[in-house]
Chain A
Amino acid sequence: MDSFDPLTLARIQFAANISFHILFPTISIAMGWVLLYFKTRFDRSGDQAWLDAYGFWVKIFALTFALGVVSGITMSFQFGTNWPGYMQKVGNVAGPLLAYEVLTAFFLEATFLGIMLFGRSRVSNRVHTLATFLVAFGTTVSAFWIIALNSWMQTPAGVSVVDGKVHVESWLAVIFNPSMPYRLTHMLLASGLTVAFLVAGVSAYRWLRGDRAGGVRHALKTGVTLAAVLIPLQILVGDAHGLNTFHHQPAKLAAIEGVWHTERGAPLLLFALPDEATQSNRYALGIPKLASLIITHQPDGEIRGLNEFAGAHPPVAKVFWSFRVMVAVGVAMLLASWLAAWQLRRRGEPAPWLARALVAMTFSGWLATLAGWYVTEIGRQPWLVTGILRTADAASAVGGGMILSTLLMYLALYAVLLASYVSVVFYLAKKAGQPAAANLEGVSA
C-alpha cells in the first residue's frame, strides 16, 4: 500500500475535503443575509408572504449550516496531520488567523443559530431579528479571516523569514495583503450569486409546479434581482482580481491564459489543449490581442510566459480549463439573470422555458465557485505559500495506505451526502406546495 505517493494522496484528500466543505459556507454566508432581508421585509410590512419565504428558506439554511459545520471539523484535524510542515514554517501567521476565526466567528454563528432557528416563540421579535443578524455577521467574519489567511498564502506580505521560520512584522500588512481585498470581494460576490441562483432555481421549480403563493413570488423576484445585480459587479471584480494576479502571481496568470512564451499582443484563447511536453497549445482558437488588451489595457501589452518560471509554474491545463469553466458559468449567469429580470419586470412572470433554465442552474454557483478556487489554488502550485514554502516540503509522514483508505471513506460519504442534500432541497420545495403538508413544521436542528 505504501507504493501510493503520500504527497499526492494527501493533496487529493485535502482537496476532496475542502471542496466538499466550501459548498456549504458558500451558501450559508449569503443566505444568512437573504434571510435577514426576508425577516426585515416582514417586520416592516407585516406581509405574511415574506415570513413564508423566510420559513421555507430557513429550513434549507439549517440543513446547509449543519453540513458546513461537520465538514469543517474535518479541516481542523487535517491541517496538522496532512501538512505538518505548514504550521512549523508559517505558524506565526496561520495560528493567530485560524484562532481568531474560531473565537470571533464560529461560536457566534453556532450559538445564535439555535435562537434563530428555534427561538421565535421564546424571545421577542427584535431579539430574534438580532440573532438572525448575528448569524449572518458571524458567517461573514469567518470568511474574512480564512480569506485573509488564504490570500496571505497567495501573496505573502508583512513578514520576515529568520532561521527558516516566518515572523510577523506588521499584522495589518499580513491581513490586508495585496490580493486580500480582491479575493474577499470576489468570494462574497460568489456566495451572493450562488444563493441568488439557488433561490431563483428552487422558486422557479415551485413556480413550474403551480405553487405560486406570495412567498414563492417574493423569493423568485429576490433571487433573480440579486443575480442580475451581482453578476456585472462580479465580472468587474473578477477583472480587477485578474490584474492583481498579473502583478503578483504572473506564473498563475500565464497558466490561465495559456501563454507559454513571453509575448506581446497575446490572443484570448477560447479553446486550446495546453501540452506540457511540447510547451505549446494544440488546437488553439483565440481572439487576437484580446488577452493583452484585457490584462494590460494595451493591445500590444506584454504578458510574461511560463518559460520565465521554468520548474516553478503550476500545471497549465488544469488552471487553464478551470478558469474557462468559471467564466462560461459566469456568462450563462449573466444571460439567464438579465433575461429573467427583464421578463419579470415586463410580464410579472418568467417564460416556462426560462424557468426551466433557472431550475437547471440551481447549483450553478457551486460549479463556478469550485472552478474559481481550483484556478487560484492549483495556480499557486508548486508553492503552498508563494516563495516561502513548497507544498512538497509541508507534506505528512502519515503512510499512503492510511490516507488512501480514509480518502475512500470520505469520498463515499460525500457522494451520499451531496445526493441527499440536493434531493432534500427539491423534496422540501415539492412538499411546501402541498396544502396538507404546508402546515407541518419540521422538528429539526
Chain B
Amino acid sequence: MNAELWLPVIFAGLMAISLLAYVILDGYDLGVGVLLPLGSDSQRDTMIASIGPFWDANETWLVLGVGLLLVAFPMAHGIILGELYLPVALMLLGLILRGVAFDFRVKAQAHHQPAWNAAFAAGSLLAAASQGVMLGRYLTGFAPGAAAWGFALLAGAGLTAAYVLLGAGWLIMKTEGELQQRATRWAQRALLGTGVAVAAVSIATPLASRRIAAKWFTLPDVLLLLPLPLVTLALFVLLAVSLPRLAARQAAGNDSFCWLPFAATVGIVLLSFWGLAYSVFPEIVIGRLTIWQAASDAEALWVILAGAAVVLPTIIGYTVFAYRVFWGKARELSYS
C-alpha cells in the first residue's frame, strides 16, 4: 500500500483520538464548571479543587486536535472553521472566561470574586454549548435552513448534558459526603437529558443524510454495527439503575463503585463518538472533501508522524503519572 493512501487515515485516526480525549477530559471539567452554581460556597471550592490540577492539560488535547486538523488537513481546517466562525468565537470566549476565572475567583479582590465565579460557570456553559452547536453544524455539512439549525441547537443542548453527566460522575468519584450526594442527583437529571439527546441525534443523523443512512442500514453492516447502539443502551440502563442504589449506599457510608457512573458515561461517550466517526469517515467535510482530498503532502505528514510516534506515548505516560499523583478524593488545593 502506498503512503498517500494510508497516511491520511492514520492522521484522521490521531485527530479523532485527540478530540475524543478532549471531549472526555475537558468534558468532565467543563461539566463541573456548569454545575458550579448549584454547590454551596465551600462545595464550590471542593468542586474546583477536583479539577484544578488537570484542566490545563485537558485543554491541550483541543489544541492538538485542531492543530492536527490544521497541519494534516489544512484545506478542511479553513472550510470547517470558516463555516463555524461564530460558534468558534463564542467557544473561545467561553474557554477564555473559564480559564482565567480559575485564578481570578480566588486571587482577585473579595468583592470581585462572585463575578468571577459567575464567569467561571457561564464560560463553561458557553464553551460546552458552542462545541455541541459546532458538532451539529458539522454533521449536517453546514446545511442552511431552520431544520439544520434546530438540529445544531439540539446537539448543543445534548453535548452540554453529556458534559454535565461526565462532571457529575467525576464529582461522585472524587468527593464525599453531601457534595457527593448532590452530585448523584445532578447525574440523574443529566442522564435523562443525555439520553434524549443521544437518541435524537441517532435518529436525526441518518434522516438528515441518505448516505449515512445507507452506511448503517444495509446488510450485513447493520448486524455488525448492532452492538454499538445496544451496548450504549445497556450503559444508560446501568446508570439509571445504579445511581439511586449508589446514593443509598453512600448515605450509609459505603463508597464502593463510586467510579461506576463516570466509567459508564465515558463508555457512552466512546461509543457515541465512534458511531459518529463511522458515519462521517472517510469524509472530513461532509459532502465536500474526503480525507485524501484534504490531506497535506506526505512529506510533511511523515515528519509529524515520526515525532508523534515517539512523543505521544511519553505524553500518555506522564499524564497517567499526574492523575496518580492526585489520585483519590479531592483535597483542598494549596500551593504549599
- Residues on A close to B: CB < 8 A? 55, 58-59, 62-63, 65-67, 69-74, 76-77, 79-81, 84, 87-88, 91-92, 94-96, 98-100, 102-104, 106-108, 110-115, 117-123, 165, 167-168, 171, 396-398, 402, 406, 409-410, 413, 417, 420, 423-424, 427-428, 441-445
- Residues from chain A with a CB closer than 8 A to the CB of B303 are 96, 168, 171
Q: State which residues 258-304 of B face A: CB under 8 Å.
A: 296-297, 299-300, 303-304
Say yes or no: is B118 at the interface (Cβ < 8 Å to chain A): no
Say yes or no: is B141 at the interface (Cβ < 8 Å to chain A): no
State the CA gap A142–B70 with chains docked (Å): 18
Specify which of B57, B78, B104 is in contact with A420 (CB 8 Å cutoff): B104
- Residues from chain A with a CB closer than 8 A to the CB of B109 are 423-424, 427
User: Are B64 and A112 neighbours in the complex by a CB distance under 8 Å?
Assistant: no
User: Are B333 and A76 neighbours in the complex by a CB distance under 8 Å?
Assistant: no
User: Are B67 and A76 neighbours in the complex by a CB distance under 8 Å?
Assistant: yes
State the CA gap A442–B82 with chains docked (Å): 40
Specify which of A102, A120, A444 is in contact with B102 (CB 8 Å cutoff): A444
Q: Is the interface of B mostly helix, strand, loop or mixed?
A: helix
State the CA gap A110–B52 with chains docked (Å): 12
Specify which of A66, A74, A99, A410 is in contact with B56 (CB 8 Å cutoff): A66
12 chain-A/chain-B pairs, Cβ below 8 angstroms:
A67-B100, A74-B96, A84-B75, A98-B71, A99-B67, A99-B308, A111-B318, A112-B318, A119-B325, A413-B96, A443-B52, A444-B103
Return the chain B residue nearest A65 by Cβ.
Answer: B56
- Residues from chain B with a CB closer than 8 A to the CB of A66 are 56, 99-100, 102-103
User: Are A63 and B103 neighbours in the complex by a CB distance under 8 Å?
Assistant: yes
State the CA gap A62–B72 with chains docked (Å): 32
State the CA gap A98–B70 with chains docked (Å): 9
State the CA gap A165–B298 with chains docked (Å): 13
State the CA gap A307–B315 with chains docked (Å): 52
User: Are A409 and B95 neighbours in the complex by a CB distance under 8 Å?
Assistant: no
A153 to chain B, nearest CB (A): 16
- Residues from chain A with a CB closer than 8 A to the CB of B297 are 91-92, 165, 167
Select the stretch in B84-92, B147-155, B206-214 that faces chain A: B84-92
Interface residues on B, range: 35 or more
Please provide the 9 A-B residue pairs with the shortest distance between their CB atoms, ordered closest to farther: A114-B53, A95-B71, A87-B74, A80-B77, A70-B99, A84-B78, A445-B102, A110-B56, A110-B57
B325 to chain A, nearest CB (A): 5
Q: A88-B75, A118-B52 in contact; A98/B100 too (CB < 8 A)?
A: no
Say yes or no: is B326 at the interface (Cβ < 8 Å to chain A): yes
State the CA gap A115–B92 with chains docked (Å): 26
State the CA gap A262–B93 with chains docked (Å): 49
Q: A69-B59, A87-B71 in contact; A406/B86 too (CB < 8 A)?
A: yes
State the CA gap A88–B74 with chains docked (Å): 7
User: Are B108 and A427 neighbours in the complex by a CB distance under 8 Å?
Assistant: yes
- Residues from chain B with a CB closer than 8 A to the CB of A94 are 71
Q: Please name 4 further chain A to chain B contacts, defined as beta carbons within 8 Å, in addition to the given A96-B71, A443-B45, sorted by A numbering.
A: A67-B100, A110-B57, A120-B334, A443-B48
Q: State which residues 13-27 of B face A: CB under 8 Å.
A: none
Specify which of A87, A100, A424, A428 is in contact with B70 (CB 8 Å cutoff): A87
- Residues from chain A with a CB closer than 8 A to the CB of B304 are 95-96, 99-100
Q: Is the interface of A mostly helix, strand, loop or mixed?
A: helix
A108 to chain B, nearest CB (A): 8
Say yes or no: is B62 at the interface (Cβ < 8 Å to chain A): yes
Return the chain A residue nearest B55 by Cβ.
Answer: A445
Q: A73-B59, A396-B82 in contact; A96/B88 too (CB < 8 A)?
A: no
B60 to chain A, nearest CB (A): 5
A379 to chain B, nearest CB (A): 26
User: Are B71 and A413 neighbours in the complex by a CB distance under 8 Å?
Assistant: no
Specify which of B53, B72, B100 is in contact with A117 (CB 8 Å cutoff): B53
A14 to chain B, nearest CB (A): 13
Say yes or no: is B68 at the interface (Cβ < 8 Å to chain A): yes
B72 to chain A, nearest CB (A): 7
Say yes or no: is B63 at the interface (Cβ < 8 Å to chain A): yes
State the CA gap A167–B300 with chains docked (Å): 9
State the CA gap A106–B332 with chains docked (Å): 26
Return the chain B residue nearest A83 by Cβ.
Answer: B78
- Residues from chain A with a CB closer than 8 A to the CB of B77 are 79-80, 87
Return the chain A residue nearest B116 by Cβ.
Answer: A420
B51 to chain A, nearest CB (A): 8
Return the chain B residue nearest A122 by Cβ.
Answer: B325
- Residues from chain B with a CB closer than 8 A to the CB of A91 are 71, 74, 296-297, 300
- Residues from chain A with a CB closer than 8 A to the CB of B57 are 107, 110-111, 113-114
User: Are B103 and A62 neighbours in the complex by a CB distance under 8 Å?
Assistant: yes
- Residues from chain A with a CB closer than 8 A to the CB of B51 are 445
Say yes or no: is B66 at the interface (Cβ < 8 Å to chain A): yes
Q: A118-B52, A406-B85, A424-B107 in contact; A417/B100 too (CB < 8 A)?
A: yes
State the CA gap A81–B333 with chains docked (Å): 38
User: Are B52 and A409 neighbours in the complex by a CB distance under 8 Å?
Assistant: no
State the CA gap A441–B299 with chains docked (Å): 51
User: Are B322 and A111 neighbours in the complex by a CB distance under 8 Å?
Assistant: yes
A370 to chain B, nearest CB (A): 20
State the CA gap A128–B319 with chains docked (Å): 15
State the CA gap A409–B90 with chains docked (Å): 9
State the CA gap A69–B78 with chains docked (Å): 22
- Residues from chain B with a CB closer than 8 A to the CB of A100 are 304, 307
Specify which of B45, B72, B299, B312 is in contact with A103 (CB 8 Å cutoff): B312
State the CA gap A107–B59 with chains docked (Å): 9
- Residues from chain A with a CB closer than 8 A to the CB of B97 are 413
Say yes or no: is B81 at the interface (Cβ < 8 Å to chain A): yes
A19 to chain B, nearest CB (A): 15
- Residues from chain B with a CB closer than 8 A to the CB of A104 are 307, 311
State the CA gap A81–B82 with chains docked (Å): 5
User: Are A442 and B335 neighbours in the complex by a CB distance under 8 Å?
Assistant: yes
State the CA gap A55–B81 with chains docked (Å): 41
User: Are A119 and B53 neighbours in the complex by a CB distance under 8 Å?
Assistant: yes
User: Are B334 and A118 neighbours in the complex by a CB distance under 8 Å?
Assistant: yes
B87 to chain A, nearest CB (A): 11
State the CA gap A197–B104 with chains docked (Å): 23
User: Are B48 and A445 neighbours in the complex by a CB distance under 8 Å?
Assistant: yes
Specify which of B49, B63, B322 is in contact with A115 (CB 8 Å cutoff): B322
- Residues from chain B with a CB closer than 8 A to the CB of A121 are 334, 336
Q: A80-B77, A95-B72 in contact; A102/B64 too (CB < 8 A)?
A: yes
User: Are B300 and A114 neighbours in the complex by a CB distance under 8 Å?
Assistant: no
Say yes or no: is B54 at the interface (Cβ < 8 Å to chain A): yes
State the CA gap A420–B49 with chains docked (Å): 23
B90 to chain A, nearest CB (A): 9
Specify which of B85, B92, B99, B296 is in contact with A398 (CB 8 Å cutoff): B85
Say yes or no: is B106 at the interface (Cβ < 8 Å to chain A): yes
